[in-house]
Structure 1
Amino acid sequence: MKRALLLAFVLALSNSACGAPAAVQAQRLVIPSPTGPHPVGTVSVHLVDQSRQDPWSKSGAKRELMVSLWYPAKDVRDYKVAPWMPKAAADRYQKDNELKPGSVLMDRTDGHQGAPIDQGLGKLPVILYSPGANASRAYGTGVVQELASRGYVVVTIDHTYDAAVVEFPDGRVEAGLEMTDFAKAVEVRVADVRFVLDQLSTLDKAHVFDLQRIGMFGHSLGGAATSSSMYADRRIKAGLGLDGAVFGKMAQSGLDRPYLVVDTEGKGGMSTNPALRTFWDGLRGWRLNLTLKGAAHNSFGDDVLLIPMSAKPLGLGKAQVQEVVGTIPAKRALAFQKAYPLAFFDLHLRKRKEPLLDGPSPAFPEVAYRR
């Protein structure tokens, strides 16, 4: 199995053999619809950083990125929904993970391609999203759609050659490398993030982005990219890491802006990750640590749906899947992702009171709080 969709299986199950793939009918990945008052629009954009050579490529080419903008739309009736992942990328993605192309349909989201942004909402806060290592910007679609439906502009970033697959407008599909130098990967991601921040005013065709209210979040390596980007660039006012690591000097310095650490009880959590504990101890701004009980590393993002769907054709059993996505029901993991990032950014970018962040909530008994 290649390290992309099933990265966690490679790491957690490296000593166990997968069973023979079973013949199954195609399944459709269905991300739960957002619950906010606004319909969602989306557009994908190709960006080229003319000031930087791509650090992962030997060709000397300039650094290229694909990003997607998600936002509250004014009218979506005449605009088709965007796929979870473009078809050529989805086919390559499944092939690289020993799935027959088309065995998992990734053909719809609740984001309407090219729908006009709702300018009547005034200035909108902006949130950046960085996925995990060898993942894709699509992995965060569930939480991203929710934020957009609540009045945020969300910019999701594919870090080329670190991402699982990236499809460019000319039809090229660039697959991810087998990433081993994670410290370098974080440095590259920080440069990507700062470049995207520089492009926000150009991307803001309707002149509604509030560039004084920018947040960022990420899963796993995307969490490390979030904290590291905040150290490097003060334009990011608040950050959230979903079971995200920290690296090198970034674990030592004290961050002075709001940060939410979300972790699990297993590998990489606060209890087992000394670097994350050092980072936590050094936080000098508003801080909160939430531990999602019953969750595992891939309980966050759309993995909690995608991995179990892929288990049967790959011959993976229930115990193997639980090692990766935990024992928490997918419905509860998804409910957490809809509620807590929204509450965090509403508190710190909109200055709204959020009782959900004050302490244990009867609505979320699986969430443990630590100040």
Structure 2
Amino acid sequence: MSHAFRPRPVLRGGLAAAAGLVVLAAAACAAPAPPRSMAAPSVTPTGPAVMPPPTGPHPVGTTTLYLKDTSRPDPWVPEAKARELMVTLWYPARAAGEQRAPYMTAKESELLLKGKRVTGAPYDLLSRTRTNAFSDAKPAGRKDTLPLVVLSPGFTMPRTTLTSLAEELASRGYVVAGVDHAYENYATTFPDGRIAECVACDSDSDPGFGTKDVTVRAADVSFVLDRLTGPHAKWEGSSLIDPSKIGMAGQSIGGAAALAAMVKDSRVRAGIDIDGTTYARIPKRGLSRPFLFLGSAGHPPGGRDNSWDRDWKLLTGWKRWLLVPGGEHQSFTDVAVLAGPLGLGTVGGSSPARSVEIGRTYVRAFFDLHLRGERQPLLDQASPRFPEVKVCTPATKTCE
């Protein structure tokens, strides 16, 4: 799916001149693992969205980290001599706090909606989305006990569009790190007020873009793990994380990045690709750590995207291929919840609540199995609870 229009990316603030990106201009570019197009609204916007409440026993806290990797220049803006990342953490909290965390800023909402050509809703609407996590609540847990899950969003999408999934995992006792891969989405705000826009959008149709992108993201994830575990930890709750229980999931090219991160970094013990074409090359000896493909209608075995067929053969450990034929590319993200308030109708064939339930349930089951060792029959065969979800057998190109 291509984007008919995209504002040319800029970095607002001091780096804009250095990057030479000082104006907005029309650009047409096709993402290698494209997000659902947000075209002109088809129905009347309904007002601010509300994230579905998480189902776990723990209140959810959240905080934001600014991380700076001085060992490498930024791959999209080489004039920037360090790679800057914004990371949101969600985690089980000791108690509910006084202030709900914002979903995004008004400016981030504006730039995202303009980038997606949503014109029928107020540009600040997403900044008024209600979340369930409490800002800077004290983390709960015992030392070295909490599994860590890294989340990587789709191309052009901010980390916040995986909030519903993150809040669910955190309410179930996981630490979750949502990573904004700077200059790959419409707006990443740094602590000093600079806003990095989508520089990568200028080159996303270039040959080899997908391979470069997942390589960049894998390096980002390794750096984030360095700063969340071990002697260089930057978060007050880092001591609660069990560094032997780290997983990663991503949507679209974020899912491709999960596979790339596993190939690069053995600390990532289990991974999920949610509806993303893959680009990283698995070594010929194979990848023995657990992996899940969770796809929409575009990813049946032997379908238009052969990257999953190729990689399936090289996954030598626990693996599953699950398909939601009635789903769309963004069914597994917050877009399922945001579409109605934005006036975009329904994403896929399920209600927003059902789409969220499917994504949360299967992702949680995978990590409960592989990071906690809890048996999950849901992942072994089709479930009457979720008739929308098919278990695929690539050898026979069937999903039942």
Match of 1:236 in 2: 268
Q: In the TM superposition, what is the alpha-carbon distance from 1:51 to its structure 2 partner? A: 0.3
For residue 155 of structure 2, give the secondary structure of its aligned residue in structure 1.
coil
Q: What is aligned with 2:56? A: 36
**Aligned positions of 1:163-202 closer than 5 A:** 163-177=185-199, 178=201, 179-180=204-205, 181-201=209-229, 202=233
Alignment of 1:6-17 (within 5 A): none
- Aligned equivalent of 1:276: 308
Name which of 101, 116, 119 aligns with 2:123: 101
Match of 2:92 in 1: 72
- Identity over the aligned pairs, expressed in percent? 37
**Which deviations, in whole Å up to 9, do the C-alpha atoms of 1:152-189 show, x marking residues without a partner?**
00000000001231011111111113133222111111
Scaled by the length of structure 1, the TM-score of the pair is 0.87
The answer to whether the 8 Å contact 1:293/1:328 transfers is: no
Change over 3 Å in CA distance of 1:103–1:87 after alignment to 2: closer
Letter matched to residue 205 of structure 1: E
Give the Cα–Cα distance (whole angstroms) in 2 for the partners of residues 104 and 55 of structure 1. 29
Counterpart residue number, 1:86: 105
What is aligned with 2:6? 2
Which deviates more from structure 2 when the two are superposed, residues 160-169 or residues 232-241? 160-169
1:61 counterpart residue number: 81
In structure 2, the residue corresponding to 1:27 is in which secondary structure? coil
Residues in 1 aligned to 2:352 and 2:56: alpha-carbon distance in whole angstroms:
20
1:306 to 338, 344, 365: 338
Letter in 1 for 2:93: A
Larger displacement relative to structure 2 (344-353 or 83-92): 83-92
Separation in structure 1 between the aligned mates of residue 90 and residue 363 of structure 2, nearest angstrom: 16
Q: Distance in 2 between matches of 1:121 and 1:149?
A: 18
Q: Which residue of 1 aligns with 2:134?
A: 112
> Equivalents in 2 of 1:355, 1:217: separation in Å?
20
Kept in 2: contact 1:251–1:279 (CA 8 A): no
- How many angstroms apart in 2 are the aligned matches of 1:155 and 1:38? 17
Q: Distance in 2 between matches of 1:151 and 1:11?
A: 32
User: Residues 172, 253 of structure 1: CA spacing in aligned structure 2 closer, same or farther, 3 A cutoff?
Assistant: farther
Unaligned runs of 5+ in 2: 10-29, 394-400
Is contact 2:104–2:127 with CA below 8 Å preserved after alignment? no
> What do residues 30-70 of structure 1 show as CA deviations (whole Å, max 9, x unaligned)?
11010100000000010000101001014233110000110
Residues 1:149 and 1:2: Cα distance change in structure 2 (over 3 Å): same
Question: What code does the residue aligned with 2:181 have?
Answer: H
Q: Is the 8 A contact 2:262 2:271 kept in 1?
A: yes
For the residue of structure 1 that corresponds to 2:112, the secondary structure is helix
Offset from partner CA, 1:44-97 (integer Å, 9 cap, x none): 0100001010010142331100001100000123x3111111333223323433
Which residue identity lines up with residue 351 of structure 2 in the other structure?
P
CA distance in 2, matches of 1:213, 1:224: 20
What is the CA–CA distance in structure 2 between the aligned matches of 1:138 and 1:242, rounded to whole Å? 16
**Offset, 1:281:** 1.8
Q: Distance in 2 between matches of 1:18 and 1:229?
A: 32
How many Å separate the matches in 1 of 2:267 and 2:96?
31
| Counterpart Cα distance in 1 of 2:340 and 2:276 | 22
Deviation string 1:200-229 (CA, Å, 9 cap, x unpaired) is: 121342311100100000001011100011
Summarize the Cα distance change of 1:270–1:352 in structure 2 as closer, same or farther, 3 Å threshold: farther
Distance (whole Å) between structure 2 residues aligned to residue 65 and residue 11 of structure 1: 22
1:365 lines up with 2:387 in the alignment: yes
2-structure distance, mates of 1:225, 1:49: 19
In structure 2, relative to structure 1, the CA distance for the partners of 1:116 and 1:101 (3 Å cut) is same
Contact 1:74–1:117 under 8 Å retained in 2: yes
2-side partners of 1:182 and 1:156: how far apart? Answer: 20
**1:160–1:174: 8 Å Cα contact kept in structure 2?**
yes
C-alpha change, 1:134 and 1:74, in structure 2 (3 Å) is: same
Residue number in structure 1 paired with 2:398: none
Displacement of 1:123 in angstroms is: 1.3
- Range with greater deviation from structure 2 (136-145 or 117-126): 117-126
For 2:281, what is the secondary structure of its paired residue? helix
Which runs of 5 or more residues in structure 1 are unaligned?
313-317
Asked if 2 retains the 8 angstrom alpha-carbon contact of 1:161 and 1:174, the reply is: yes
Query: Conserved in 1, the CA contact under 8 Å of 2:292 and 2:319?
Result: yes
Paired residue secondary structure (1:273): coil
- Counterpart selection for 1:254 from 279, 282, 286: 286
Q: Secondary structure at the match of 1:51?
A: coil
Q: How many residues align?
A: 354
- Which residue matches 2:164? 142
Query: CA contact under 8 A between 1:27 and 1:105: conserved in structure 2?
Result: no
CA contact (8 A) 1:224 1:246 kept: yes
Task: Give the deviation of 1:329 after TM superposition.
Answer: 2.6
Change (3 A) 1:122 1:228: closer
Amino acid at match of 1:134: T
C-alpha displacement of 1:11? 6.7
Change beyond 3 A, Cα 1:167–1:336: same
Shift of 1:245: 1.4
